[in-house]
């Protein structure tokens, strides 16, 4: 990605996090990124193009700070599936300006899609990729759990994250408490998956009837 494109998308994430999707005017974005509106239209065609690329850019940034998240220091043994799972799910809850801005912009793009179907397809793809990543870690942790149950648990954990994220960002839920609820939710879902029998237990073979008659 060229520097100019990156600057425009960085600016778009900042404007969306500050003013919402409805508040994103191309003139404001141009001022924020220090470029002309013509350059923005040249790179992204129209407002829909800006939003679509901003969504992808924000998703990539989230992937980046997940990978860099706590416990991933160089020289430390690679994390196990439980750590990877916690890291993937707790990445939203870090009190860093970049994370807060990114989560705010992402949540706003998601909330806005209730009113405007434009981003629906991209959001669906991003959500499916995230749930698949979580499901992969869950399957590693609970290899005997049925795939359907793993997928449902991943969908619940990611939806829970989104619900808690809005509460955190709007100041209704302290960060520490949000993280605690996520950790417990992982525990509850993993215990349930681990206790899942791969199939119903086979009934004991009946002994031949004894002839008492």
Closest approach, Cβ 70 to a copy of itself, in A, equals 22
**Which residues, other chains included, contact 23 with Cβ-Cβ below 8 Å and sequence gap of 6+?**
15, 16
**Which residues, other chains included, contact 58 with Cβ-Cβ below 8 Å and sequence gap of 6+?**
13, 102, 105, 106, 109
d(CA 137, CA 82): 7
Query: Is 163 a residue that touches a copy of itself (CB under 8 A)?
Result: yes
Q: How far is CA 89 from the centre of its chain?
A: 7
Question: What track of x and - describes contact with a copy of itself for positions 105 through 144 (by CB under 8 A)?
Answer: --xx-xx-xxx-x--x--xx--x-----------------
Contact residue for a copy of itself among 86, 101, 133, 189 (CB under 8 A): 189
Which of these segments, 39-47, 73-81, 132-140, 159-167, binds a copy of itself (CB under 8 A)?
A: 159-167
Query: Is 20 a residue that touches a copy of itself (CB under 8 A)?
Result: yes
Query: Is 192 a residue that touches a copy of itself (CB under 8 A)?
Result: yes
**Which residues, other chains included, contact 186 with Cβ-Cβ below 8 Å and sequence gap of 6+?**
82, 85, 86, 89, 157
Query: Is 196 a residue that touches a copy of itself (CB under 8 A)?
Result: no
Query: Is 47 a residue that touches a copy of itself (CB under 8 A)?
Result: no
Query: Is 23 a residue that touches a copy of itself (CB under 8 A)?
Result: yes
Closest approach, Cβ 58 to a copy of itself, in A, equals 15
Report the residue number, 39 or 181, with the smaller CB distance to a copy of itself: 181
Which of these segments, 7-15, 87-95, 185-193, 203-211, binds a copy of itself (CB under 8 A)?
A: 185-193
> Locate tokens 């942790």: which residue?
141
Residues between 83 and 112 with contacts to a copy of itself, criterion CB under 8 A: 104, 107-108, 110-111
Q: What is the 3-state secondary structure (H, E, C) of 169-212?
A: HCCCCCHHHHHHHHHHHHHHHHHHHHCCCCCCCCCCCCCCCCCC
Phi-psi region of 61 (alpha: psi -120 to 50; beta: other; left: phi over 0): alpha
Name which of 175, 62, 55 is nearest 110 in CA terms.
Answer: 55
User: Where do contacts with a copy of itself occur on this chain (CB under 8 A)?
Assistant: 18-20, 22-23, 104, 107-108, 110-111, 113-115, 117, 120, 123-124, 127, 152, 155-156, 158-164, 166-167, 169-172, 180-181, 184-185, 188-189, 191-192
């Amino acid at each position: 990605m060229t520097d100019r494109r990156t600057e425009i998308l960085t600016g778009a994430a900042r404007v969306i996090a500050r003013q919402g999707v409805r508040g994103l005017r191309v003139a404001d974005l141009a001022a924020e990124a220090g470029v002309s509106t013509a350059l923005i239209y040249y790179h992204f065609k129209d407002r829909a193009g800006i939003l679509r690329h901003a969504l992808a850019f924000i998703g990539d940034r989230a992937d980046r700070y997940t990978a860099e998240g706590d416990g991933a220091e160089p020289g430390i043994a690679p994390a196990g599936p439980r750590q990877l799972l916690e890291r993937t799910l707790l990445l939203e809850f870090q009190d860093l300006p970049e994370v807060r801005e990114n989560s705010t912009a992402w949540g706003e793009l998601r909330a806005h899609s209730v009113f405007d179907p434009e981003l629906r397809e991209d959001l669906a793809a991003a959500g499916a990729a995230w749930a698949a990543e979580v499901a992969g870690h869950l399957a590693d942790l609970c290899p005997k759990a049925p795939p359907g149950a793993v997928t449902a648990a991943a969908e619940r954990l990611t939806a829970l994250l989104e619900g808690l994220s809005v509460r955190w960002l709007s100041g209704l839920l302290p960060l520490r408490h949000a993280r605690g609820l996520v950790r417990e939710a992982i525990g509850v879902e993993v215990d349930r998956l681990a206790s899942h029998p791969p199939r119903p237990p086979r009934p004991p073979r009946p002994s031949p009837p004894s002839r008492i008659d």
